[in-house]
Amino acid sequence: VVLRAVGRSGTALRFADEAMRANCEVALSAVETVHIAMEHVAKELRYDRDFVLRAVALRGRALEYADPSFRGDREVVLRAVAQCGMALAFAANELQRDREVVLRAVRRHPCAATHASAELQLDPDVVDAAQRARSSA
């Protein structure tokens, strides 16, 4: 019943008991429908790197509700921005200065460039990637 409910509306997870919020399958189903469901996932899953990697692959913006330490985890952030470029907004400053991370984000969503470091916002390759992404949208 809970799995079906969160599959339709991920925010329904907030009404589930703690055992259901800690169930990986239920939690991922909720996050798959909407990133903000991650806010209602059990704390231990939000601190679990394997779970967070799977969650951000489904909804990159779930990074916002994962344990803050993952904002500086390059692999997690790369996976998040590959799914949703705007997840760059939740990355640690050092990853907003990482050229590969920023390029991946901007290729996915050109407006992600606004979350890059000032230097990378002016980088010719980042500007070009944003222009290409805009023209293909």
Instruction: Give 66-101 pLDDT, tens digit per residue.
Output: 999 999 999 999 999 999 999 999 999 999 999 999
- Cα separation, 26 vs 16, whole angstroms: 10
Q: Contact 21/42 with Cβ under 8 angstroms? A: yes
Q: Contact 97/121 with Cβ under 8 angstroms? A: no
Rounded average pLDDT over 34-44: 96
- Cα separation, 78 vs 83, whole angstroms: 9
pTM over 0.85: yes
Classify 20 as helix, strand or coil.
Answer: helix
16: tokens are: 């589930």
